[in-house]
Structure 1
Amino acid sequence: MAINPAQTIVGLVGTGVMGKSMAGHFIQAGYEVHIYNRTKSKAQELLDQGAHWQDSPGLLAQQCNVIITMVGFPKDVEEIYLDENGILANTKPGSYVIDMTTSSPMLAKQIYEKALARQVYSLDAPVSGGDIGAKEARLSIMVGGSREAFDAMLPLFEKIGTNIVYQGEAGAGQHTKMCNQIAIASNMMGVVEALVYAKKSGLDPSTVLKSIESGAAGSWSLSNLAPRIIAGNFAPGFYVKHFIKDMKIALQSAEEMKVELPGLSLAKSLYEQLAASGEEDSGTQALFKIINK
Protein backbone atom coordinates (compact mmCIF):
# COMPACT_ATOMS: atom_id res chain seq x y z
CA MET A 1 0.00 0.00 0.00
CA ALA A 2 2.90 2.35 0.66
CA ILE A 3 4.45 4.27 -2.21
CA ASN A 4 8.19 4.28 -2.68
CA PRO A 5 9.24 7.90 -1.92
CA ALA A 6 11.44 7.90 -5.01
CA GLN A 7 8.40 7.04 -7.13
CA THR A 8 5.99 9.45 -5.45
CA ILE A 9 4.71 12.13 -7.81
CA VAL A 10 2.75 14.79 -5.94
CA GLY A 11 0.00 16.83 -7.53
CA LEU A 12 -1.36 19.87 -5.74
CA VAL A 13 -4.57 21.64 -6.76
CA GLY A 14 -4.87 25.11 -5.25
CA THR A 15 -1.76 27.24 -4.68
CA GLY A 16 -3.23 30.01 -2.56
CA VAL A 17 -2.09 31.19 0.86
CA MET A 18 -1.76 27.63 2.19
CA GLY A 19 -1.21 25.52 -0.91
CA LYS A 20 1.71 27.61 -2.15
CA SER A 21 3.77 26.95 0.98
CA MET A 22 2.82 23.27 1.06
CA ALA A 23 3.88 22.76 -2.56
CA GLY A 24 7.13 24.57 -1.85
CA HIS A 25 7.97 22.19 1.00
CA PHE A 26 7.37 19.16 -1.22
CA ILE A 27 9.65 20.62 -3.90
CA GLN A 28 12.35 21.33 -1.32
CA ALA A 29 12.04 17.75 -0.05
CA GLY A 30 12.91 16.49 -3.54
CA TYR A 31 9.50 15.33 -4.76
CA GLU A 32 8.37 15.77 -8.33
CA VAL A 33 5.48 18.22 -7.98
CA HIS A 34 2.72 19.06 -10.44
CA ILE A 35 0.36 21.97 -9.76
CA TYR A 36 -2.90 23.44 -10.97
CA ASN A 37 -4.46 26.73 -9.93
CA ARG A 38 -7.31 28.67 -11.53
CA THR A 39 -4.99 31.63 -12.06
CA LYS A 40 -1.71 30.40 -13.50
CA SER A 41 0.15 33.64 -12.78
CA LYS A 42 -0.33 33.08 -9.04
CA ALA A 43 1.62 29.83 -9.36
CA GLN A 44 4.61 31.36 -11.14
CA GLU A 45 6.86 31.32 -8.08
CA LEU A 46 6.35 27.56 -7.72
CA LEU A 47 6.98 27.03 -11.43
CA ASP A 48 10.25 28.93 -11.01
CA GLN A 49 11.15 26.49 -8.22
CA GLY A 50 10.67 23.53 -10.53
CA ALA A 51 6.98 22.60 -10.26
CA HIS A 52 5.25 21.28 -13.40
CA TRP A 53 2.08 23.03 -14.58
CA GLN A 54 -1.04 21.11 -15.61
CA ASP A 55 -4.02 22.74 -17.32
CA SER A 56 -6.75 21.03 -15.27
CA PRO A 57 -7.23 18.90 -12.13
CA GLY A 58 -8.00 15.92 -14.37
CA LEU A 59 -4.76 16.24 -16.34
CA LEU A 60 -2.86 16.66 -13.09
CA ALA A 61 -4.43 13.47 -11.71
CA GLN A 62 -3.24 11.53 -14.75
CA GLN A 63 0.37 12.49 -14.01
CA CYS A 64 0.49 11.88 -10.25
CA ASN A 65 -0.01 9.08 -7.73
CA VAL A 66 -0.68 11.41 -4.80
CA ILE A 67 -3.14 14.24 -5.43
CA ILE A 68 -3.61 16.89 -2.74
CA THR A 69 -6.31 19.54 -2.91
CA MET A 70 -6.43 22.83 -1.00
CA VAL A 71 -9.24 24.93 -2.42
CA GLY A 72 -11.85 27.35 -1.11
CA PHE A 73 -15.32 25.91 -0.67
CA PRO A 74 -17.11 22.54 -0.58
CA LYS A 75 -18.63 23.31 -4.01
CA ASP A 76 -15.06 23.61 -5.36
CA VAL A 77 -14.12 20.28 -3.76
CA GLU A 78 -17.19 18.59 -5.22
CA GLU A 79 -16.49 20.00 -8.67
CA ILE A 80 -12.82 19.06 -8.91
CA TYR A 81 -13.31 15.55 -7.50
CA LEU A 82 -16.66 14.42 -8.90
CA ASP A 83 -16.87 16.17 -12.28
CA GLU A 84 -16.68 13.75 -15.22
CA ASN A 85 -13.37 15.36 -16.18
CA GLY A 86 -12.22 15.77 -12.59
CA ILE A 87 -9.76 14.07 -10.28
CA LEU A 88 -11.47 10.75 -9.53
CA ALA A 89 -12.32 10.13 -13.18
CA ASN A 90 -8.62 10.48 -14.06
CA THR A 91 -6.80 8.98 -11.07
CA LYS A 92 -4.99 5.67 -11.55
CA PRO A 93 -5.95 2.72 -9.30
CA GLY A 94 -3.65 2.49 -6.28
CA SER A 95 -3.19 6.26 -6.08
CA TYR A 96 -4.04 8.50 -3.14
CA VAL A 97 -6.28 11.56 -3.05
CA ILE A 98 -6.04 13.88 -0.04
CA ASP A 99 -8.44 16.77 0.42
CA MET A 100 -6.92 19.30 2.83
CA THR A 101 -9.65 21.89 2.27
CA THR A 102 -11.88 22.54 5.26
CA SER A 103 -15.04 21.03 3.82
CA SER A 104 -18.17 19.03 4.60
CA PRO A 105 -17.81 15.74 6.51
CA MET A 106 -20.63 14.30 4.38
CA LEU A 107 -18.80 15.25 1.17
CA ALA A 108 -15.61 13.65 2.51
CA LYS A 109 -17.51 10.39 2.98
CA GLN A 110 -18.97 10.63 -0.52
CA ILE A 111 -15.53 11.14 -2.07
CA TYR A 112 -14.16 8.24 -0.01
CA GLU A 113 -16.84 5.84 -1.29
CA LYS A 114 -16.45 6.90 -4.93
CA ALA A 115 -12.65 6.66 -4.65
CA LEU A 116 -12.91 3.20 -3.10
CA ALA A 117 -15.00 2.03 -6.06
CA ARG A 118 -12.11 3.08 -8.33
CA GLN A 119 -9.49 1.40 -6.10
CA VAL A 120 -8.18 4.81 -5.05
CA TYR A 121 -7.35 5.65 -1.42
CA SER A 122 -9.01 8.79 -0.07
CA LEU A 123 -8.18 10.86 3.01
CA ASP A 124 -9.80 14.02 4.37
CA ALA A 125 -7.01 15.96 6.06
CA PRO A 126 -7.89 19.56 6.90
CA VAL A 127 -5.25 21.65 8.64
CA SER A 128 -4.88 24.34 11.27
CA GLY A 129 -2.05 26.80 11.79
CA GLY A 130 -2.77 29.45 9.19
CA ASP A 131 -0.25 31.04 6.86
CA ILE A 132 2.48 30.97 9.51
CA GLY A 133 2.07 27.24 10.12
CA ALA A 134 2.09 26.56 6.39
CA LYS A 135 5.24 28.63 5.79
CA GLU A 136 7.09 27.03 8.70
CA ALA A 137 5.89 23.46 7.95
CA ARG A 138 4.30 23.07 11.37
CA LEU A 139 0.65 22.66 10.52
CA SER A 140 -1.71 20.63 12.64
CA ILE A 141 -3.22 17.98 10.36
CA MET A 142 -6.36 16.06 11.33
CA VAL A 143 -6.97 13.00 9.18
CA GLY A 144 -9.95 10.80 8.35
CA GLY A 145 -9.99 7.68 6.17
CA SER A 146 -8.40 4.25 6.46
CA ARG A 147 -5.55 3.80 8.92
CA GLU A 148 -3.49 2.09 6.22
CA ALA A 149 -3.76 5.06 3.88
CA PHE A 150 -2.86 7.40 6.73
CA ASP A 151 0.26 5.39 7.53
CA ALA A 152 1.28 5.37 3.87
CA MET A 153 0.92 9.15 3.57
CA LEU A 154 2.50 10.04 6.92
CA PRO A 155 5.94 10.77 5.39
CA LEU A 156 4.31 13.39 3.14
CA PHE A 157 2.31 14.91 6.00
CA GLU A 158 5.53 15.23 7.98
CA LYS A 159 6.95 17.53 5.29
CA ILE A 160 4.26 20.14 6.03
CA GLY A 161 3.13 19.52 9.60
CA THR A 162 4.23 18.66 13.11
CA ASN A 163 0.99 17.71 14.89
CA ILE A 164 -0.43 14.95 12.70
CA VAL A 165 -3.26 12.90 14.19
CA TYR A 166 -5.32 10.08 12.73
CA GLN A 167 -8.90 10.75 13.85
CA GLY A 168 -10.84 7.81 12.40
CA GLU A 169 -12.97 6.85 9.42
CA ALA A 170 -13.77 9.06 6.43
CA GLY A 171 -15.19 12.40 7.52
CA ALA A 172 -13.49 12.29 10.93
CA GLY A 173 -10.81 14.76 9.83
CA GLN A 174 -13.45 17.27 8.78
CA HIS A 175 -15.46 16.79 11.99
CA THR A 176 -12.27 17.45 13.98
CA LYS A 177 -11.62 20.63 11.99
CA MET A 178 -15.14 21.77 12.86
CA CYS A 179 -14.23 21.36 16.55
CA ASN A 180 -11.15 23.50 15.89
CA GLN A 181 -13.15 26.25 14.17
CA ILE A 182 -15.82 26.25 16.88
CA ALA A 183 -13.13 26.85 19.51
CA ILE A 184 -11.47 29.58 17.43
CA ALA A 185 -14.72 31.42 16.73
CA SER A 186 -15.56 32.24 20.35
CA ASN A 187 -11.89 32.75 21.19
CA MET A 188 -11.53 35.38 18.45
CA MET A 189 -14.45 37.30 19.94
CA GLY A 190 -12.65 37.26 23.29
CA VAL A 191 -9.34 38.37 21.78
CA VAL A 192 -10.77 41.39 19.99
CA GLU A 193 -13.00 42.37 22.92
CA ALA A 194 -9.97 42.28 25.25
CA LEU A 195 -7.99 44.54 22.90
CA VAL A 196 -10.87 46.97 22.50
CA TYR A 197 -11.28 47.09 26.29
CA ALA A 198 -7.54 47.69 26.75
CA LYS A 199 -7.60 50.51 24.21
CA LYS A 200 -10.70 52.22 25.64
CA SER A 201 -9.38 52.06 29.21
CA GLY A 202 -6.20 53.88 28.23
CA LEU A 203 -3.85 50.91 28.46
CA ASP A 204 -1.13 50.08 25.95
CA PRO A 205 -2.48 46.95 24.21
CA SER A 206 1.05 45.67 23.52
CA THR A 207 1.92 45.87 27.20
CA VAL A 208 -1.36 44.22 28.16
CA LEU A 209 -0.54 41.40 25.75
CA LYS A 210 2.72 40.73 27.59
CA SER A 211 0.76 40.04 30.76
CA ILE A 212 -2.11 37.97 29.42
CA GLU A 213 -0.81 35.86 26.54
CA SER A 214 1.19 33.46 28.73
CA GLY A 215 -1.46 33.08 31.43
CA ALA A 216 -4.83 31.37 31.53
CA ALA A 217 -6.09 33.57 28.68
CA GLY A 218 -3.34 32.41 26.36
CA SER A 219 -4.23 31.05 22.90
CA TRP A 220 -2.81 30.80 19.39
CA SER A 221 -5.04 33.66 18.27
CA LEU A 222 -3.94 35.87 21.15
CA SER A 223 -0.23 35.26 20.51
CA ASN A 224 -0.31 35.36 16.70
CA LEU A 225 -3.21 37.59 15.69
CA ALA A 226 -3.40 40.13 18.50
CA PRO A 227 0.00 41.61 17.49
CA ARG A 228 -1.32 41.99 13.93
CA ILE A 229 -4.42 43.79 15.23
CA ILE A 230 -2.30 46.13 17.33
CA ALA A 231 -0.13 46.87 14.27
CA GLY A 232 -3.21 47.53 12.12
CA ASN A 233 -2.36 44.54 9.94
CA PHE A 234 -5.55 42.89 8.69
CA ALA A 235 -4.02 41.00 5.76
CA PRO A 236 -5.31 37.44 5.48
CA GLY A 237 -3.58 34.52 7.08
CA PHE A 238 -7.04 33.04 6.80
CA TYR A 239 -9.84 34.78 4.93
CA VAL A 240 -13.01 36.05 6.61
CA LYS A 241 -15.06 34.53 3.76
CA HIS A 242 -13.53 31.11 4.34
CA PHE A 243 -14.09 31.30 8.09
CA ILE A 244 -17.78 32.08 7.50
CA LYS A 245 -17.92 29.05 5.21
CA ASP A 246 -16.43 26.88 7.98
CA MET A 247 -18.88 28.18 10.57
CA LYS A 248 -21.79 27.42 8.26
CA ILE A 249 -20.56 23.83 7.80
CA ALA A 250 -20.15 23.42 11.57
CA LEU A 251 -23.62 24.81 12.31
CA GLN A 252 -25.19 22.59 9.66
CA SER A 253 -23.45 19.52 11.07
CA ALA A 254 -24.46 20.53 14.61
CA GLU A 255 -28.09 20.92 13.52
CA GLU A 256 -28.02 17.41 12.05
CA MET A 257 -26.79 16.12 15.44
CA LYS A 258 -29.31 18.32 17.34
CA VAL A 259 -26.51 20.25 19.08
CA GLU A 260 -26.90 23.96 19.93
CA LEU A 261 -23.81 26.18 19.55
CA PRO A 262 -24.77 29.70 20.70
CA GLY A 263 -21.21 31.04 20.73
CA LEU A 264 -20.62 29.91 17.17
CA SER A 265 -23.95 31.38 16.04
CA LEU A 266 -23.00 34.77 17.50
CA ALA A 267 -19.53 34.67 15.94
CA LYS A 268 -21.00 33.83 12.54
CA SER A 269 -23.41 36.78 12.72
CA LEU A 270 -20.56 39.16 13.61
CA TYR A 271 -18.36 37.87 10.81
CA GLU A 272 -21.23 38.20 8.35
CA GLN A 273 -21.53 41.86 9.40
CA LEU A 274 -17.81 42.20 8.78
CA ALA A 275 -18.05 40.62 5.33
CA ALA A 276 -21.02 42.84 4.43
CA SER A 277 -18.87 45.89 5.26
CA GLY A 278 -16.40 44.89 2.54
CA GLU A 279 -13.93 42.85 4.60
CA GLU A 280 -14.57 39.35 3.27
CA ASP A 281 -11.02 39.11 1.87
CA SER A 282 -9.41 40.39 5.08
CA GLY A 283 -7.92 38.15 7.75
CA THR A 284 -10.08 36.84 10.58
CA GLN A 285 -8.45 39.33 12.97
CA ALA A 286 -10.40 42.08 11.15
CA LEU A 287 -13.29 41.24 13.51
CA PHE A 288 -11.66 43.97 15.62
CA LYS A 289 -13.14 46.53 13.24
CA ILE A 290 -16.70 45.50 14.15
CA ILE A 291 -16.15 45.40 17.94
CA ASN A 292 -14.09 48.62 17.92
CA LYS A 293 -16.87 50.78 16.40
Structure 2
Amino acid sequence: MIKKKLGFIGTGVMGKSMAKHLLLSGYPLYIYNRTKTKAQELLDLGASWCESPAELAEQADIILTIIGEPKDVEEVYLGAGGILPNSRPGQMVIDMTTSKPSLAKKIYERAKERGVHALDAPVSGGDIGAKEGTLAIMVGGDREAFQAARPILDIIGENIVYQGGPGAGQHTKMCNQIAIASNMIGVCEAMLYAHKAGLDQETVLKSISTGAAGSWSLSQLAPRMIKQDYKPGFYIKHFIKDMRIALEEAERMDLPLPGLEKAKEMYGQLAAKGEQDSGTQALIKYWNE
Protein backbone atom coordinates (compact mmCIF):
# COMPACT_ATOMS: atom_id res chain seq x y z
CA MET A 1 0.00 0.00 0.00
CA ILE A 2 1.33 3.42 -0.93
CA LYS A 3 1.66 5.55 2.18
CA LYS A 4 0.32 9.08 2.24
CA LYS A 5 2.78 11.92 2.01
CA LEU A 6 3.16 13.72 5.32
CA GLY A 7 4.15 17.31 5.97
CA PHE A 8 5.60 18.49 9.27
CA ILE A 9 6.13 22.06 10.44
CA GLY A 10 8.02 22.79 13.66
CA THR A 11 11.09 20.67 14.36
CA GLY A 12 11.87 21.96 17.84
CA VAL A 13 12.52 20.09 21.09
CA MET A 14 9.46 17.88 20.68
CA GLY A 15 8.66 18.24 17.00
CA LYS A 16 11.96 16.82 15.77
CA SER A 17 11.44 13.55 17.62
CA MET A 18 7.80 13.31 16.52
CA ALA A 19 8.74 13.87 12.89
CA LYS A 20 11.56 11.33 13.18
CA HIS A 21 9.12 8.62 14.30
CA LEU A 22 6.93 9.31 11.27
CA LEU A 23 9.89 9.24 8.91
CA LEU A 24 11.29 6.00 10.32
CA SER A 25 7.83 4.44 9.97
CA GLY A 26 8.24 4.70 6.23
CA TYR A 27 6.13 7.74 5.42
CA PRO A 28 7.44 10.21 2.82
CA LEU A 29 8.04 13.32 4.91
CA TYR A 30 8.21 16.97 3.86
CA ILE A 31 9.65 19.43 6.37
CA TYR A 32 9.44 23.16 6.92
CA ASN A 33 10.93 25.05 9.86
CA ARG A 34 11.88 28.70 10.25
CA THR A 35 15.44 27.58 11.04
CA LYS A 36 16.57 24.97 8.52
CA THR A 37 19.49 23.79 10.65
CA LYS A 38 17.05 22.47 13.26
CA ALA A 39 15.68 20.09 10.61
CA GLN A 40 19.06 18.89 9.36
CA GLU A 41 18.97 15.55 11.20
CA LEU A 42 15.65 14.75 9.54
CA LEU A 43 16.91 15.82 6.13
CA ASP A 44 19.93 13.55 6.58
CA LEU A 45 17.51 10.69 7.26
CA GLY A 46 15.67 11.30 3.99
CA ALA A 47 13.05 13.97 4.66
CA SER A 48 12.46 16.55 1.92
CA TRP A 49 12.86 20.26 2.61
CA CYS A 50 10.22 22.83 1.66
CA GLU A 51 10.91 26.55 1.49
CA SER A 52 7.52 27.62 2.88
CA PRO A 53 4.28 26.33 4.38
CA ALA A 54 2.68 26.94 0.96
CA GLU A 55 5.18 24.66 -0.77
CA LEU A 56 4.68 22.01 1.89
CA ALA A 57 0.89 22.22 1.45
CA GLU A 58 1.33 21.56 -2.25
CA GLN A 59 3.28 18.36 -1.54
CA ALA A 60 1.67 16.68 1.47
CA ASP A 61 -1.59 14.81 1.98
CA ILE A 62 -1.58 15.14 5.79
CA ILE A 63 0.13 18.07 7.51
CA LEU A 64 1.12 18.12 11.17
CA THR A 65 2.26 21.25 12.97
CA ILE A 66 3.71 21.97 16.40
CA ILE A 67 4.85 25.56 16.50
CA GLY A 68 5.02 28.22 19.23
CA GLU A 69 2.57 31.03 19.83
CA PRO A 70 -1.04 31.24 18.57
CA LYS A 71 0.00 34.13 16.31
CA ASP A 72 2.51 31.79 14.63
CA VAL A 73 -0.16 29.14 14.20
CA GLU A 74 -2.52 31.68 12.63
CA GLU A 75 0.16 32.87 10.21
CA VAL A 76 1.18 29.35 9.19
CA TYR A 77 -2.40 28.23 8.62
CA LEU A 78 -4.25 31.32 7.45
CA GLY A 79 -1.61 33.72 6.07
CA ALA A 80 -1.35 34.26 2.31
CA GLY A 81 1.70 32.01 2.16
CA GLY A 82 0.22 29.55 4.63
CA ILE A 83 -1.26 26.09 4.53
CA LEU A 84 -4.98 26.59 3.98
CA PRO A 85 -4.85 29.20 1.18
CA ASN A 86 -2.66 26.73 -0.70
CA SER A 87 -4.54 23.56 0.26
CA ARG A 88 -6.69 21.23 -1.84
CA PRO A 89 -9.83 19.23 -1.05
CA GLY A 90 -9.24 15.95 0.74
CA GLN A 91 -6.16 17.02 2.64
CA MET A 92 -5.94 16.83 6.43
CA VAL A 93 -4.28 19.25 8.85
CA ILE A 94 -3.45 18.37 12.46
CA ASP A 95 -2.29 21.19 14.71
CA MET A 96 -0.47 19.77 17.73
CA THR A 97 0.57 23.15 19.11
CA THR A 98 -0.95 24.17 22.43
CA SER A 99 -3.01 27.10 21.21
CA LYS A 100 -6.29 28.93 21.67
CA PRO A 101 -9.51 26.91 21.39
CA SER A 102 -11.05 29.81 19.48
CA LEU A 103 -8.23 29.65 16.91
CA ALA A 104 -8.71 25.90 16.54
CA LYS A 105 -12.36 26.54 15.69
CA LYS A 106 -11.38 29.24 13.21
CA ILE A 107 -8.92 26.93 11.46
CA TYR A 108 -11.56 24.19 11.38
CA GLU A 109 -14.10 26.47 9.69
CA ARG A 110 -11.59 27.78 7.12
CA ALA A 111 -10.44 24.24 6.40
CA LYS A 112 -14.01 23.07 5.95
CA GLU A 113 -14.56 25.81 3.37
CA ARG A 114 -11.61 24.40 1.43
CA GLY A 115 -12.76 20.78 1.73
CA VAL A 116 -9.91 20.06 4.16
CA HIS A 117 -10.25 18.04 7.39
CA ALA A 118 -8.85 19.77 10.48
CA LEU A 119 -8.03 18.45 13.93
CA ASP A 120 -6.66 20.23 16.99
CA ALA A 121 -4.48 17.66 18.75
CA PRO A 122 -2.19 19.16 21.40
CA VAL A 123 0.17 16.80 23.19
CA SER A 124 1.60 16.22 26.63
CA GLY A 125 4.67 14.29 27.72
CA GLY A 126 7.54 16.66 27.01
CA ASP A 127 10.77 15.74 25.29
CA ILE A 128 10.79 12.28 26.88
CA GLY A 129 7.34 11.39 25.55
CA ALA A 130 8.25 12.73 22.12
CA LYS A 131 11.48 10.69 21.98
CA GLU A 132 9.78 7.51 23.17
CA GLY A 133 6.63 7.94 21.06
CA THR A 134 4.46 7.84 24.17
CA LEU A 135 2.81 11.26 24.08
CA ALA A 136 -0.69 11.84 25.36
CA ILE A 137 -2.72 13.33 22.51
CA MET A 138 -5.99 15.21 23.07
CA VAL A 139 -8.03 15.52 19.90
CA GLY A 140 -10.81 17.86 18.79
CA GLY A 141 -12.61 17.95 15.45
CA ASP A 142 -14.84 15.57 13.51
CA ARG A 143 -14.79 12.00 14.78
CA GLU A 144 -14.44 10.65 11.23
CA ALA A 145 -11.29 12.71 10.70
CA PHE A 146 -9.94 11.50 14.05
CA GLN A 147 -10.47 7.89 13.02
CA ALA A 148 -8.73 8.51 9.70
CA ALA A 149 -5.77 10.16 11.45
CA ARG A 150 -5.45 7.48 14.13
CA PRO A 151 -2.76 5.39 12.35
CA ILE A 152 -0.53 8.48 12.18
CA LEU A 153 -1.21 9.51 15.77
CA ASP A 154 -0.47 5.98 16.99
CA ILE A 155 3.12 6.36 15.78
CA ILE A 156 3.86 9.31 18.06
CA GLY A 157 1.56 8.73 21.01
CA GLU A 158 -0.02 6.14 23.30
CA ASN A 159 -2.84 7.77 25.25
CA ILE A 160 -4.84 9.15 22.32
CA VAL A 161 -8.34 10.34 23.20
CA TYR A 162 -11.05 11.95 21.08
CA GLN A 163 -12.44 14.80 23.19
CA GLY A 164 -15.18 16.23 20.96
CA GLY A 165 -15.71 18.90 18.34
CA PRO A 166 -13.34 21.65 17.15
CA GLY A 167 -11.45 23.24 20.04
CA ALA A 168 -12.10 20.36 22.45
CA GLY A 169 -8.51 19.15 22.19
CA GLN A 170 -7.21 22.60 23.12
CA HIS A 171 -9.63 22.93 26.04
CA THR A 172 -8.46 19.55 27.33
CA LYS A 173 -4.83 20.66 27.07
CA MET A 174 -5.71 23.68 29.20
CA CYS A 175 -6.97 21.26 31.88
CA ASN A 176 -3.64 19.45 31.60
CA GLN A 177 -1.60 22.62 32.01
CA ILE A 178 -3.72 23.85 34.91
CA ALA A 179 -3.08 20.58 36.75
CA ILE A 180 0.66 20.74 36.05
CA ALA A 181 1.07 24.39 37.10
CA SER A 182 0.14 24.03 40.78
CA ASN A 183 1.71 20.57 40.93
CA MET A 184 5.08 21.99 39.88
CA ILE A 185 5.02 24.31 42.86
CA GLY A 186 4.35 21.32 45.11
CA VAL A 187 7.16 19.29 43.53
CA CYS A 188 9.64 22.12 44.13
CA GLU A 189 8.52 22.63 47.72
CA ALA A 190 8.75 18.89 48.45
CA MET A 191 12.32 18.72 47.15
CA LEU A 192 13.33 21.81 49.07
CA TYR A 193 11.74 20.48 52.25
CA ALA A 194 13.61 17.17 51.87
CA HIS A 195 16.89 19.06 51.46
CA LYS A 196 16.29 21.32 54.47
CA ALA A 197 15.34 18.30 56.59
CA GLY A 198 18.68 16.72 55.80
CA LEU A 199 17.22 13.88 53.74
CA ASP A 200 18.60 12.36 50.57
CA GLN A 201 16.30 13.74 47.90
CA GLU A 202 16.66 10.76 45.55
CA THR A 203 15.76 8.35 48.37
CA VAL A 204 12.75 10.50 49.23
CA LEU A 205 11.62 10.28 45.61
CA LYS A 206 11.67 6.47 45.76
CA SER A 207 9.00 6.65 48.44
CA ILE A 208 6.78 9.51 47.40
CA SER A 209 6.79 9.16 43.61
CA THR A 210 4.85 5.87 43.74
CA GLY A 211 2.38 6.86 46.45
CA ALA A 212 -0.53 9.28 46.56
CA ALA A 213 1.80 12.18 45.72
CA GLY A 214 2.91 10.54 42.47
CA SER A 215 2.83 12.54 39.25
CA TRP A 216 4.69 12.76 35.95
CA SER A 217 6.35 15.98 37.10
CA LEU A 218 7.53 14.38 40.32
CA SER A 219 8.92 11.29 38.60
CA GLN A 220 10.44 12.94 35.53
CA LEU A 221 11.33 16.50 36.55
CA ALA A 222 12.27 16.26 40.23
CA PRO A 223 15.36 14.16 39.33
CA ARG A 224 16.43 16.94 36.96
CA MET A 225 15.97 19.48 39.76
CA ILE A 226 18.22 17.41 42.02
CA LYS A 227 20.90 17.27 39.32
CA GLN A 228 20.45 20.99 38.59
CA ASP A 229 19.68 20.02 35.00
CA TYR A 230 17.56 22.83 33.60
CA LYS A 231 17.73 21.94 29.90
CA PRO A 232 14.29 22.32 28.34
CA GLY A 233 12.03 19.37 27.83
CA PHE A 234 9.41 22.09 27.71
CA TYR A 235 10.36 25.78 27.72
CA ILE A 236 9.28 28.11 30.50
CA LYS A 237 8.29 30.68 27.86
CA HIS A 238 5.91 28.20 26.26
CA PHE A 239 4.42 27.21 29.61
CA ILE A 240 3.76 30.86 30.39
CA LYS A 241 1.98 31.13 27.03
CA ASP A 242 -0.17 28.12 27.90
CA MET A 243 -1.04 29.48 31.34
CA ARG A 244 -1.97 32.82 29.79
CA ILE A 245 -4.37 31.12 27.38
CA ALA A 246 -5.92 29.07 30.19
CA LEU A 247 -6.46 32.16 32.34
CA GLU A 248 -8.03 34.02 29.42
CA GLU A 249 -10.41 31.12 28.80
CA ALA A 250 -11.21 30.84 32.51
CA GLU A 251 -11.99 34.54 32.68
CA ARG A 252 -14.53 34.09 29.88
CA MET A 253 -16.13 31.34 31.98
CA ASP A 254 -16.06 33.54 35.12
CA LEU A 255 -13.90 30.88 36.77
CA PRO A 256 -11.22 31.97 39.28
CA LEU A 257 -8.01 29.89 39.18
CA PRO A 258 -5.80 31.18 42.01
CA GLY A 259 -3.34 28.27 41.80
CA LEU A 260 -2.74 28.89 38.12
CA GLU A 261 -2.40 32.63 38.69
CA LYS A 262 0.27 32.06 41.33
CA ALA A 263 2.23 29.64 39.14
CA LYS A 264 2.16 32.06 36.21
CA GLU A 265 3.38 34.87 38.47
CA MET A 266 6.30 32.76 39.70
CA TYR A 267 7.30 31.60 36.24
CA GLY A 268 6.95 35.16 34.96
CA GLN A 269 9.47 36.38 37.54
CA LEU A 270 11.95 33.71 36.44
CA ALA A 271 11.47 34.58 32.77
CA ALA A 272 12.11 38.24 33.54
CA LYS A 273 15.47 37.19 34.99
CA GLY A 274 16.52 35.34 31.86
CA GLU A 275 15.15 31.84 32.46
CA GLN A 276 12.59 31.87 29.65
CA ASP A 277 14.50 29.25 27.64
CA SER A 278 15.06 26.94 30.61
CA GLY A 279 12.91 23.88 31.24
CA THR A 280 9.91 24.14 33.52
CA GLN A 281 11.82 22.30 36.26
CA ALA A 282 13.87 25.49 36.68
CA LEU A 283 10.97 26.77 38.80
CA ILE A 284 12.98 25.55 41.78
CA LYS A 285 15.33 28.48 41.13
CA TYR A 286 12.53 30.77 42.32
CA TRP A 287 13.51 29.93 45.92
CA ASN A 288 17.14 30.79 45.21
CA GLU A 289 16.39 34.35 44.14
Q: Which interval holds the TM-score relative to the shorter structure?
A: over 0.9
Q: Match for residue 186 of structure 1?
A: 182
Alpha-carbon displacement from aligned partner over 1:54-84 (angstroms, at most 9, x marks no partner): 0001110100010111101101000000101
Deviation at 1:291, TM superposition (A): 2.4
Alignment partner of 1:281 out of 257, 277, 281 = 277
Looking at structure 1, the residues matched to 276 and 132 of structure 2 have their Cα atoms a distance apart, in angstroms, of 25
Looking at structure 2, the residues matched to 291 and 191 of structure 1 have their Cα atoms a distance apart, in angstroms, of 13
TM-score after normalising by structure 1: 0.97
> 1:210-229 residue pairs with structure 2 within 5 A?
210-229=206-225
Q: Match for residue 149 of structure 2?
A: 153
Alignment partner of 2:5 out of 5, 9, 15 = 9
Deviation at 1:91, TM superposition (A): 1.3
Deviation at 1:196, TM superposition (A): 0.9
Q: Match for residue 38 of structure 1?
A: 34
Q: Match for residue 270 of structure 1?
A: 266
Deviation at 1:30, TM superposition (A): 0.3
Output the amino acid matched with 2:106.
Answer: Q
Report if the CA contact (8 A) 1:234-1:282 is conserved. Answer: yes
List 4+ stretches of structure 1 deviating above 6 A.
none
Looking at structure 2, the residues matched to 136 and 113 of structure 1 have their Cα atoms a distance apart, in angstroms, of 33
TM-score after normalising by structure 2: 0.99
Deviation at 1:46, TM superposition (A): 0.3
Looking at structure 2, the residues matched to 289 and 200 of structure 1 have their Cα atoms a distance apart, in angstroms, of 15
Alignment partner of 1:29 out of 20, 25, 29 = 25
Deviation at 1:207, TM superposition (A): 1.2
Looking at structure 1, the residues matched to 147 and 43 of structure 2 have their Cα atoms a distance apart, in angstroms, of 30
Are residue 261 (structure 1) and residue 242 (structure 2) matched?
no
**1:11 is paired with a residue of what secondary structure?**
strand
Deviation at 1:199, TM superposition (A): 1.1
Deviation at 1:7, TM superposition (A): 3.8
Output the amino acid matched with 1:140.
Answer: A
Deviation at 1:29, TM superposition (A): 0.5
Deviation at 1:200, TM superposition (A): 1.5
Q: Match for residue 123 of structure 2?
A: 127
Report if the CA contact (8 A) 1:65-1:92 is conserved. Answer: no
Identity in percent:
66
Report if the CA contact (8 A) 1:193-1:291 is conserved. Answer: no
Q: Match for residue 105 of structure 1?
A: 101
Alpha-carbon displacement from aligned partner over 1:91-139 (angstroms, at most 9, x marks no partner): 1110000100000000000000000000000000000000000000000
Looking at structure 1, the residues matched to 287 and 173 of structure 2 have their Cα atoms a distance apart, in angstroms, of 26
Q: Match for residue 116 of structure 1?
A: 112
Looking at structure 2, the residues matched to 72 and 86 of structure 1 have their Cα atoms a distance apart, in angstroms, of 15
Q: Match for residue 70 of structure 2?
A: 74
**1:282 is paired with a residue of what secondary structure?**
coil
**1:6 is paired with a residue of what secondary structure?**
coil
Looking at structure 2, the residues matched to 210 and 125 of structure 1 have their Cα atoms a distance apart, in angstroms, of 33
**1:225 is paired with a residue of what secondary structure?**
helix
Unaligned 5+ runs, structure 1: none
Deviation at 1:198, TM superposition (A): 1.1
**1:17 is paired with a residue of what secondary structure?**
coil
Deviates more, 1:5-14 or 1:231-240: 5-14
Are residue 47 (structure 1) and residue 43 (structure 2) matched?
yes
User: How many matched pairs?
Assistant: 289
